[in-house]
Structure 1
Amino acid sequence: MQVLFKSRHPQATDLRDLTERRVRFVLRRLGWLVPSAEVSMSDVNGPRGGVDKRCQVELRTDGAGSVVVTSVSHDWRTALDNALARAARFLMRMWRRGNDTRRIRQRLIGHEC
């Protein structure tokens, strides 16, 4: 899996290696479905503080297009972890729905004969 990291903020740039490790860890079981991921980190309101650390994760899947999830938090790590958790949950739901419809179709075809 290819992981792209984008940020202009110096503190967020220090998290480049951690971000890549977290993306690979969270998506380790879904890596076959996601060939590339792009993580963008930005500070929404600059040095004023507050809940302003924004992390956007874009996962490009083979069959379902792109999945984009954004999270805003007090610190970079929490924003990253929240965005990755939401993206992984969404991918699992999407994958399960695809498998469920195939199973239902197979059952219906089997009962018609």
Structure 2
Amino acid sequence: MELHIQTRRVNLDEATRELVERRFMFALDQFDGFVMNVDVILEDVNGPRGGVDKHCRVLASLRGGKYVKIEDQDADLISVVNRAADRLSQVVARELDRKRDKKGAHSSGSFAEEQQPE
């Protein structure tokens, strides 16, 4: 999985960048092979004026061509990153379950049809 972090009007020191990387890698570690690419965009919407303006946008590409988009906003950069990583993990888990259910429904449905007596 490739992880790309971009910033807009946010000064991201090396320690914070590593924390963001670790947080997203930890959140998605269990989906290795299903999540292909993750783009994280961190933005300070209001700049130095403050407020609830730290914005995190995440776009993850999944195997099979599907994309997941998460957006969140908070006054604290780390809080918004943690919440976005948690939400992304939940959405990816749900997508993976749907994919598994779809495969299971097709195979069990055709098996049941073949086993019925004539």
CA distance in 1, matches of 2:85, 2:10: 21
Amino acid at match of 2:107: Q
Normalising by structure 1, we get a TM-score of 0.90
> Which of these two proteins has the greater Rg computed from alpha carbons?
2
Verify the 8 A CA contact 2:35 2:61 in the aligned structure 1. yes
Q: How big is each residue's C-alpha offset from its partner over 1:60-105, in whole Å with a ceiling of 9 and x where there is no partner?
A: 1121422111110110111111111111111111110111121122
User: What residue number does 1:83 align with?
Assistant: 84
Q: Which residue is 2:60 aligned to?
A: 59
Name the SS of the counterpart of 2:56 in structure 1.
strand
Question: Secondary structure in 1 aligned to 2:40?
Answer: strand
2:9 and 2:45 in contact (8 A); partners too: no
| Counterpart residue number, 1:19 | 20
Letter in 1 for 2:68: V
* Count, aligned residues: 112
| CA-atom RMSD in angstroms | 1.4
- Give the drift of 1:8: 3.5
Q: Which residue of 2 aligns with 1:5?
A: 5
**Cα distance per residue 1:24-70 (max 9 Å; x no partner):** 11100012111221111111111111111001111111214221111
Paired letter, 2:3: V
Residues 22-31 or 99-108, more deviating: 99-108
Q: Percent identity?
A: 30
Separation in 1 of the partners of 2:73 and 2:40? 13
CA distance in 1, matches of 2:62, 2:108: 28
Equivalent residue, structure 2, for 1:38: 39
C-alpha distance in 2 between matches for 1:64 and 1:79 = 27
Unaligned runs of 5+ in 2: none
